[in-house]
Amino acid sequence: MSLGIAEVAKIAHLARLAIRKEDAPAYAHNLSAILELVEQMNAVDTTGVTPMAHPLDMAQRLRMDVVSEANQRELFQAIAPRVEAGLYLVPKVIE
């Protein structure tokens, strides 16, 4: 599958990446080449093959729904770009 500039822009929006206009053609070219590579899969009929999501056939472990971690808000917020009064600051969302 070959991707055009408009499709790259749409995917970039879904991925929350601000792709510069001048870089879009190079992305379209590279992504199309990668998709062409992965489409070699289509040469094989996989009808009825059970998809393998995970290397080991194991059941997900469960644990009791209890608090296991201590509150470390100050430690974690020490590495945040902007915080105030224990809150993470972002641009205003609602006018």
Our finding on whether 91 is near other proteins (CB under 8 A) is yes
State the minimum distance, in angstroms, from the CB of residue 6 to other proteins: 13
88 forms beta bridges with: 83
Our finding on whether 50 is near other proteins (CB under 8 A) is yes
Our finding on whether 15 is near other proteins (CB under 8 A) is yes
Our finding on whether 6 is near other proteins (CB under 8 A) is no
Number of residues that bind other proteins (CB under 8 A): 51
Q: List the one residue out of 8, 10, 13, 15 whose CA is nearest residue 31.
A: 8
State the minimum distance, in angstroms, from the CB of residue 65 to other proteins: 15
40 forms beta bridges with: none
Q: Which two tokens stand for residue 60?
A: 């997900």
